[in-house]
Structure 1
């Protein structure tokens, strides 16, 4: 028997992501293969329901077991620094506190939709910590890291990944930060 995704999945039919890579954006599929963790699942969804609140309402996935991945940017000495932040959907990323200090920038802000899509190679509304550009820090709130399973994007709007928080901490560039989600 495989991993039990049911608590986070709600009514979704989940399959091992390694077996359904066609439901993932290419950089995400590559990342999932490299991680090789059979506990990572994928489920197809209506792309019109990819936004967290609509997704949770339709599929019965608990909001507290959904994690949002946002791309942030800041400048230091003319250099733009990017990071991805992963926080539970019941919280918001502390961009002007925790993230700003971690990136060592004067000001941090959410990247524009166009920049986030272009830089990640993912669809807006499907951005995920899997398959991000090399060298980016993946800042993970401690509550996400401790979760038995959370729902995250898949790089496209037509599916969602479900993964143990511990697996997310093994992604390249992953750093667990207390207080990232407020």
Structure 2
């Protein structure tokens, strides 16, 4: 792999402040490494081809909005690269909502302080849920967006079990 991951404290400028603060507040600094990338190669296949990153360790994070009557619930959904979301009945049941759709982009970017194409579950608003595909744990270490399109973070997959409001399921992707 051509990416050179380093301790977050050495490359603080590669992640939004919200991620940096979350990592240190929760004493995760020894578990999270960051690398700078060319933003043109941030997408999974391009990242793999240009940096020799195995596709099986890449993750996608998509933000969905669930509705139940007048209540709106937000959730990050973390799935292995190449898997499609299953926003049907299983996800609705997990979030206890009647309708699920992709969250409005402007809202997501404003609330997360992250960039489009690099939203990550680390450092999200504390009231948001994080749905994690069980298949994520098939890998010891995984790579996901770093909050800015110019970065990726590498984490042990088990870190997702330590994040707030996590729900692990094998029914959120196909």
**TM-score, length of structure 1 as denominator length:** 0.88
Cα shift readout 1:33-52 (whole Å, capped 9, x = no counterpart): 12323131100001122222
Structure 1 gap segments, 5+ residues each: 1-9
Encode CA deviations 1:141-162: one digit per residue, 9 max, x unaligned.
1111342011011111110000
Q: How well do the aligned residues superpose, as a CA RMSD in angstroms?
A: 1.4
Q: 2-side partners of 1:98 and 1:57: how far apart?
A: 34
Gaps of 5+ in 2: none
- Of the three residues 55, 61, 68, the one matched with 1:69 is 61
Q: Are 1:23 and 2:14 counterparts?
A: yes
Aligned residues: 173
Mapped partners of 1:163, 1:137: distance in 2: 19
Show CA shifts across 1:61-108 (max 9, x none): 111110100100021111111111000002122122332111222210
Using the TM superposition, give the Cα deviation of residue 113 of structure 1 relative to its aligned residue in structure 2, in angstroms. 2.2
Matched, 1:179 2:136: no
**Residue aligning to 2:26:** 35
State which drifts further: 92-101 or 63-72: 92-101
Equivalent in the alignment of 1:5: none
SS of alignment partner, residue 161 of structure 1: strand
SS in 1 for 2:162: coil
Change in 2 beyond 3 A, CA 1:18/1:170: farther
2:3 paired residue among 12, 22, 34: 12
Contact 2:42/2:150 (8 A) holds in 1: yes
**Matched residue SS, 1:95:** coil
- Using structure 2 for the length normalisation, give the TM-score: 0.92
